[in-house]
Amino acid sequence: MGGSNEQAETRDSGYPKLNFTPKGALIENIYQDRLKYLTAGGQYSKYNLTSQYIFESVDSDPHVKITARYIPDQARPPFKEATGDLSKFKPIKKGYKFGPSWSTTWCHVTISVPEKFRKYDVVEFRWDSSCEALVYSEDGDPLQGLTGGGERTVFSFPKEWVQDGKEHIFWVEVAANGMFGNAAGGDNIQPPDPNRYFELVRADIVAPNVEAYALFIDFWLLSDAAREFPNDSWEKHFALTTANEIVNTFEPGNQGSILKCRKLAQKVIGDKVDSADVYKSDKPFLVWGIGHCHIDSCWLWPFAETKRKVVRSWVTQCNLIDKYPEYTFTASSAQQYKWLETLYPSAFERVKDHIKEGRFQYIGGSWVEHDTNMPSGESLTRQFILGQRYFESRFGKRCNTFWLPDTFGYSAQLPQLCRLAGMTRFMTQKLSWNNINKFPHTTFNWIALDGSQVLCHMPPAETYTAEAHFGDVKRSVTQHKSLNDDNSSLLVFGKGDGGGGPTVEHIEKLRRARGIADTVGILPRVKLGHSVDEFFARLEKKASETNPFVTWYGELYFELHRGTYTTQSNNKKNNRQAEIFMRDIEFLATLASFQGSTYKYPKKDIDELWELICLCHFHDCLPGSSIEMVYRESDEYYKEVFERGEKLVEDASKALGFETKRQAGEKQELFAVNTSPWPRTEVVKIPEGTALGPNARCQDGKYVVLGGDSRQCGFGISVPVVDVHSSEVQKISKVYQVSEGVYALENDNLKAQIEGGLITSLYDKRVGREVIPKGKKGNQLVIFDDKPLYWQAWDVEVYHLETRKEIAPGKVTILEEGPLLSSLLVETQISEKSWIKTTISLSAAVGPDAGTYLTFDNELEWRETMKFLKVEFPVDVYNTEASYETQYGITKRPTHFNTTWDMAKFEVCCHKFADLSEHNYGVSILNDCKYGFATQGNIMRLSLIRAPKAPDANADMGRHTFKYAIYPHTGGLSHQTVRTARDFGNPLKAAWTTKEELEAVKAKLEMVSIEGGSNLILDVVKRGEDDEDVSTGGLPTKKGRGVVVRIYDALGGKGKAKIHVRGKKVVKAWKTNLLEDEEEELEVQDGFVSVELRGFEVATYRLVLED
Ligand SMILES: [Zn+2]
């Protein structure tokens, strides 16, 4: 105890007795506002830190000499072709304008570093052509991507270039487009301006002031802390006073003051931020920083430009990997790797080396980052087959994580398909864009229709192109919605789409963010150097040990971009038709390959066609959100699919003994190839003059009934059926006028009454039930105003429903009068410029499934602005849920608006059918190429066409053909709808053989079949990817010749079946995953294999056949 001691200490502390120097409290808003002036442009820029970034700079001859060659016709020639003839290059200098839009100019640059620069540690070249560019070495190796507009402008010289004083040469390939295309006026999604020019504003040799730049980053993060830390934290005030000390200390032109300021900054950011050592503390970290470059495979630029965006971005990232030891980069899309491999082999080798070190990390397992709403089940499967096989063949391993940050909603079956493609994890982010309900989880188990799960993480910073801001790191915790279960998160940073990925600035900022976390705290600790796989491996371990994660069952419906189910409808039609076509091609080619002929399974062609189709699934192509140029490219891709596909069908048909085009010669016996795994009897359109058997009934030389498959399990042939007119008169189809302007279409099943093209009655004779409610009209065309809040091609907003207008009835004439097919032609004017011709038809009820629906075949001329055309079928059926076909199953959505979650689904995606059923009865609406649908109460509404003006000013303008049907059915939703919808989109087609060969053809086509649960669909018959006689190399082959069959349960219940193989002995049978890894050996019985599937399961089997 000692009062005397205390007194002594007070005396010694030096605290003055008197004070005549007033000092006020720091006025926070003023001192905070003041901070920005240290690094801002404007009136202080000549006197603040911005004036100190460069020591020296030179842009003149003889140190910088540039010649350039303009490439005409929007061509993008490879290096050798572009640079071969130097006489074509003319001198240019700063101020030169590159353009017009989409053109390329090659520049030949000769530099020599002036002597006075040699004292500096760092000397570099800065090029800003205000647009994208790529630096090549003198011999043509891509070295550095540049973005322009000040975004990414530095090409670092090799050290010897600085010291040797000699002339050195490099090339710059200048692309006249910005990172978001060529829209004029700053609104990126407006259609491109064809006449944009880009000025060369910088072509300088520069000696930068490295310490001044470092202080800029120090101060940036420090002043963020002063602004964004919570007001009631001491750390905020500490950051604020430190930052103000720095502003007070800085003196322009005094390098010593810059070093002093940096020293002051260390109080908050620590003393390790100048190296990767900042990450060396073993304190636990929460935020996993992952470098990334989201490169849309097409969007506001064509596919052709993306090939260059990839090389620009990835060589840039290789440079950053070389420069920053802590840095790792991840990139998805096998297609982009293949482009690099094919077009830029030296860059590919560099990427490959970094992949080996684990620093460049491939991810995703799919061909592209595709849409998941519209591609069929098999299309999604092919994304994984093509993607995983590419990655495995080039880099030795498959991916573990499915990566779709930017796709517009996620199909309910994805978790199952991921698991079947060797992936247990899923990363996405887009749902944070929902504009009605906030998605409630960050890390969770996402569960498919069949119960399969993947671990899903949605980065809480809510971006996949983070700028690595202080705020991004902070939000990784503050916006994390699953903190009760796990507090870690991914921070996916880097500029996308020609921005080239992460920048030096991003990596430097994250070093400071980590420094702050370790020095003063509060900010979550971020770490670089890991992989997405390591992040998920940790979560997965936790999930298997204690499983704290919540579950989300079914689709991840995206509450935005609902217009993408409809926009660019011809492109969508091509997709649907290509999918159906590929199935038939692979079926026929598989059977043909077992005929012992010289026929060889065309694996290479099939793969190439699937690659094109899968490329077009890209999340801005198939959804319709790209510029017009992209759709001219995709038209070409689909044209190639159909033309080459046609040839493949012809070749396979020949090997199987028939022709698909009627020719002069012996093959005059008409039949149809049934590629559906169930028997079909249909009215089939045939070429005029086709010879028929004596009893076959033909209508006007145009229609004939083909059917009568012997086997109940399907596949095989359908042959002309005897005269239905005389023997079964009830079944014929007829059309007649009931009264003035009122017509009827009728057969044994249905009777429809039609007035002005509208269905005023649809009577189901089989059960004595009216389908259309009294006073309502089916096939009512309705048009809506369609002006979303911003994203025109993408969005249709909820308020459009309030602008509904009915299109007035059209003019009706009788077109065809049975007995096989009856039809009415309805001509309807939509507006002054737009019209639609609809053929409403009903076929004879000649088979169990024929004549059970009313078909509407449409030819549309569409010339509208921001309008949405739909067709409505009010039905006398009531349910609070409707069913929609999705990949490998059904997704149910509400028909009401009880909650905002229900309401958000005012427009949803469906595949070949939508169904509204109640107990024992229902109605399905079938379509051949549409994807948008809504069921509101008892109104079923199919979306037909939109008219957005951005980013394609001409989207959907012009002529369209499409068809849909109303299919009433007894019972609830069943296999009948699934089958009818599939057959509706793939009608039986005529084929010809000789009379003698017909039985043999039939036997060949019946080689593979299934028998069993009607809920099971035999979806695909193909050859094994790695069969010895089929393999195209790249991966090890498998012994034996195998048939691969993919079966799924379409309705959500267990099912059993036998897979039969006829004419060949099955020697071994395996259940495999999608990638055809053998997982379970199955017992081969006498010519068949028994299988059992759980509800909504997708199952693949490989049957090895005897040689
Ligand atoms: Zn994207």
Domain extent listing, the chain: 54-208, 284-506+534-553, 565-656, 664-725+986-1005, 742-985, 1007-1106
Per-residue pLDDT tens digits for 179-217: 889 998 889 999 999 999 999 999 999 999 999 999 999
* 333 Cα: distance to centroid of ligand 1 (angstroms): 12
Structural fold of domain 54-208: Jelly Rolls (2.60.120)
* 493 Cα: distance to centroid of ligand 1 (angstroms): 14
Number of other residues whose CB lies within 10 A of the CB of residue 150: 11
* 292 Cα: distance to centroid of ligand 1 (angstroms): 12
Question: Do 174 and 196 meet the contact criterion of CB atoms below 8 Å apart?
Answer: no
**Whole-model pTM over 0.85:** yes
Q: Is the Cα torsion angle 130, 135, 138, 139 positive or negative in sign?
A: negative
Q: Which amino acid is at 274?
A: D
* 369 Cα: distance to centroid of ligand 1 (angstroms): 8
- Give the phi and the psi of residue 327 in degrees, each rounded to 5: -90, 135
At 381, is the secondary structure helix, strand, or coil?
helix
Given the structure tokens 């998920």, which residue do they identify? 536
* 441 Cα: distance to centroid of ligand 1 (angstroms): 22
Which CATH number fits the domain 742-985, given the four candidates 2.70.98.30, 3.40.50.261, 2.60.40.60, 3.40.50.300? Answer: 2.70.98.30
Question: Measuring CA to CA, which residue among 1042, 1096, 1052 is closest to residue 1072?
Answer: 1042
Question: Do 605 and 646 meet the contact criterion of CB atoms below 8 Å apart?
Answer: no
* 890 Cα: distance to centroid of ligand 1 (angstroms): 27
Residue 904 tokens read as: 């958000």
Q: Say how many CA atoms lie within 13 Å of 1009 toward its Cβ.
A: 26
Establish whether domains 284-506+534-553 and 1007-1106 are of one fold.
no
Q: Note the CATH architecture for domain 565-656.
A: Up-down Bundle (1.20)
Q: How far apart are alpha carbons 316 and 331 in whole angstroms?
A: 13
pLDDT score recorded for residue 3 = 47
What is the CATH number that goes with domain 284-506+534-553? 3.20.110.10
* 637 Cα: distance to centroid of ligand 1 (angstroms): 20
Kindly list the protein residues that place their beta carbon closer than 5 angstroms to ligand 1, a single-atom ion: 296, 406
* 509 Cα: distance to centroid of ligand 1 (angstroms): 25
Number of other residues whose CB lies within 10 A of the CB of residue 841: 23
Q: How far apart are alpha carbons 201 and 45 in whole angstroms?
A: 19
Q: How far apart are alpha carbons 532 and 329 in whole angstroms?
A: 10
Q: Which amino acid is at 425?
A: R
Q: How far apart are alpha carbons 138 and 142 in whole angstroms?
A: 10
Question: Do 513 and 523 meet the contact criterion of CB atoms below 8 Å apart?
Answer: yes
* 849 Cα: distance to centroid of ligand 1 (angstroms): 43
* 296 Cα: distance to centroid of ligand 1 (angstroms): 5
* 151 Cα: distance to centroid of ligand 1 (angstroms): 20
Whether residue 142 is preceded by a cis peptide bond, meaning omega within 30 degrees of 0, is no
* 559 Cα: distance to centroid of ligand 1 (angstroms): 17
Active site residue 406: yes
204, 224, 371, 406: the catalytic one is 406
At 1087, is the secondary structure helix, strand, or coil?
coil
Ranges of beta strands (E only) in 3-159 are 54-58, 64-71, 90-92, 97-98, 104-111, 124-128, 132-137, 142-146, 154-156
For the chain of 1107 residues, list the mean pLDDT of each consecutive stretch of 10. 51 86 91 92 91 95 96 96 96 96 97 93 95 97 94 91 93 94 89 96 96 97 95 95 96 95 97 96 93 97 97 97 97 98 98 97 98 98 98 97 97 98 97 95 98 98 94 96 97 93 97 96 95 97 94 97 98 98 97 90 98 98 98 98 98 95 85 90 85 70 77 67 54 90 95 96 97 97 97 97 96 93 97 98 87 97 98 98 98 98 98 97 98 98 98 97 98 96 94 91 91 94 96 92 96 96 94 97 93 98 93
Confirm or reject CATH 3.40.1420 for domain 1007-1106, answering yes or no: no
* 497 Cα: distance to centroid of ligand 1 (angstroms): 8
Question: Do 134 and 316 meet the contact criterion of CB atoms below 8 Å apart?
Answer: no
* 929 Cα: distance to centroid of ligand 1 (angstroms): 24
* 654 Cα: distance to centroid of ligand 1 (angstroms): 43
Given the structure tokens 């950011």, which residue do they identify? 269
* 464 Cα: distance to centroid of ligand 1 (angstroms): 9
